[in-house]
């Protein structure tokens, strides 16, 4: 039996979710930690998508109560009852701080019409905005963020502020080191179906001038990504910086030269 890394990951998620279920069978009031909660959510989305019982839009509205109700239906066969809320619905307890750690859940699930990314925002949906509990997160004493390096120099590249609108009919997610000029085949020119880039007018407002993103990437933490939803009424402000290092970017489109020094090479 030959499994791809993607299939192995799904089996690992299912095994983790089964372990959580066995723990809840033994102790229904057990407070779950971050990996246990994420495993339950991921397994729930994968199963619902596989059996074609819910659409992507319906799964995006999933909360912990939905997972608890589906889990209770199976635990009932073994005589186990989860705790209930004030309204009588089954609930799953989580450890302190776990709710603040889960801003969203992202699962790549296989549906009847193909594989799609399901993003569940605020799945635990009762985090208090004023909470001071942020496990694993350290707040810098200087509350003023540094969006990009204004002066440039030999060590850090000079960044610039742009505005982005998603004119496509689906979400577009861009990685930290993905060449912005390769996001759209039209090279970021305004008028296509994709991400439209605009220059800043100098007063922190979007201008009507198309921005040149040739040789630039998003100025976000390495390994992270920025998601642009379709149909956003207002443009979003982003910071971009020139691509550095070996100046060779491996893109998803045809090979073509982007600058005198950097080039996009087909993977």
Q: In Å, what is the CA distance from 8 to each residue of 146, 183, 263?
A: 40, 29, 35
Domain membership flag for residue 151: no
CATH code for the domain of 244:
2.10.150.10
- Least confidently predicted of 51-65, 140-154, 155-169, 239-253: 140-154
**List of residues 6+ apart from 198 with CB closer than 8 A:** 162, 163, 164, 165, 190, 206, 207, 208, 209, 210, 211, 235
Greater confidence (106 vs 254) lies with 106
Name the token pair of 67: 């997972």
Name the token pair of 68: 């608890």
Q: Which of 121, 149, 177 marks a domain boundary?
A: 121
Specify whether 13 is located in the same domain as 115.
Answer: yes
Q: In Å, what is the CA distance from 153 to each residue of 149, 156, 260?
A: 9, 6, 20
| Residue 264: closest CA among 202, 182, 192 | 182
Specify whether 29 is located in the same domain as 111.
Answer: yes
pLDDT by residue (tens digit) across 154-189?
A: 455 567 889 998 888 788 888 888 888 777 654 444
Give the pLDDT mean for 122-137.
60
Domain extent for 211: 160-266
Specify whether 75 is located in the same domain as 173.
Answer: no
| pTM, entire model | 0.52
């Amino acid at each position: 039996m030959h499994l791809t890394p993607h299939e192995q990951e799904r089996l690992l998620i299912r095994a983790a979710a089964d372990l959580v279920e066995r723990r809840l069978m033994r102790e229904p009031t057990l407070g779950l930690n971050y990996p246990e909660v994420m495993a339950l959510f991921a397994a729930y989305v994968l199963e619902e998508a596989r059996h074609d019982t819910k659409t992507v839009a319906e799964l995006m509205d999933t909360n912990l109560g939905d997972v608890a109700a589906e889990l209770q239906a199976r635990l009932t066969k073994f005589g186990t009852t989860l705790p209930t809320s004030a309204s009588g619905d089954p609930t799953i307890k989580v450890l302190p701080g776990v709710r603040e750690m889960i801003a969203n859940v992202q699962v790549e699930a296989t549906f009847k019409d193909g594989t799609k990314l399901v993003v569940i925002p605020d799945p635990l949906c009762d985090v208090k905005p004023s909470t001071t509990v942020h496990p694993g997160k350290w707040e810098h004493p200087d509350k003023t963020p540094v969006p990009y390096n204004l002066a440039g120099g030999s060590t850090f590249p000079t960044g610039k502020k742009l505005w982005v609108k998603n004119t496509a009919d689906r979400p577009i997610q861009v990685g930290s080191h993905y060449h912005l000029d390769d996001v759209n085949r039209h090279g970021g020119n305004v008028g296509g179906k994709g991400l439209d880039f605009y220059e800043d007018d100098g007063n922190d407002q979007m201008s009507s001038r198309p921005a040149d993103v040739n040789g630039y990437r998003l100025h976000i933490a390495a390994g992270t990504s920025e998601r642009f939803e379709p149909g956003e009424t207002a443009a979003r402000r982003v910071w971009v910086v020139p691509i550095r290092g070996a100046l060779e970017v491996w893109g998803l489109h045809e090979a073509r030269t982007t600058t005198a020094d950097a080039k996009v090479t087909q993977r």
